[in-house]
Structure 1
């Protein structure tokens, strides 16, 4: 049995493979599945070759060598690992603190890493789903209110195509310096909240009245990333109340409004 093992025993197109064994010095070619490959190196105990472009996308193939006397050695298995692909995410945005995301695609069962932009890759174990993997994306603070990061998956089969799956990171909205015009009035009063920050992609506007009743999902009109127009709920109790604004980046602190 001239061939004893392959190093590595799995890989992708372009992988250099060492065939280990004995009496291999007269090898003239390598059989890789249905392909015949010219070796890149031959000695009595070692033959090297490169996995050809004709290799199947994934699966097991047999590897043997052809000797100069016309005989063929025993065959040993080599597993071709598929290059992963990414087709989508279960989230379109994350807060700066990061969070759980599920990446959809193919070729994940071998294990590897999820790569979010240039952030630290997140490892995931082999043996899970081949078409979905859930990881905790790392924290990232955008330079502005938000930025976009590409998501790829790397396994032993390679790295999926970049630029096809994207996620946005958002900084939290901020009403610390906000002004309300007016900032007092009866229930139902329309007011402009100005001088805020990152008031973009708003998912909720809430008013909490003096009775601690929270009115969520208030209608609003955006002006720019610092200002919106909204209104105090008609059922709000008199006294000190406050607006908060929620985006993918989180929920702002309160902006006070007194209901008269």
Structure 2
């Protein structure tokens, strides 16, 4: 008989930390099946990005650089099996604890770094890649491999260290297309977690990631949710996905 995996509970202390500092971690939150699913589609994400660059005759596209770092977004539209995770009870638990009773899927993407010293990602807010006219949304940074100091961890500046709780203007680094919002000396707090962990943080938390200095891929899956339908800056159409996930606290998405 198949048993359903136990869904971790976001504690009151973690809820408070999200409000006060903008982040918390659920270690080893994914089931074995969920981790296997996300790892299985990771190869497809890289292959798709390479194919897109091949078609355009380039080795860099957006934030992606061939053989170094890959940002492959909205893969779930091609691989609908990801819906089972994106709209899972685990993600519902995290969304309720951070966004409340209403939630929409906003964006999803793989962030995969090959072993290369030129795979850093600059200080930014996730909101810096959207625009300033939206409420902060939720980023779930999901480790598909054990995260160490050597393979490119995420570094956070919690609210108490940055003093920032809202959108700030970013400057584009034309060399790698990164948006940058912090030029100070604080190195940030590395988040070192085992595979299957969820690092949940607000879209206005300033963060960066280091280079992957190992000979193995560092694979991360990003699932992002909002409490409202985020639109383009002029308000004319939705930005990204706008699939309803939670309504009055209940899962309403097709899984």
TM tier, smaller: under 0.3
Larger strand proportion of the pair: 1
Which structure has the greater CA radius of gyration? Answer: 1
- The TM-score, its normalising length taken from structure 2, stands at 0.22
Q: Which has the higher contact order (CA 8 A, sep 6+)?
A: 2
Larger helix proportion of the pair: 2
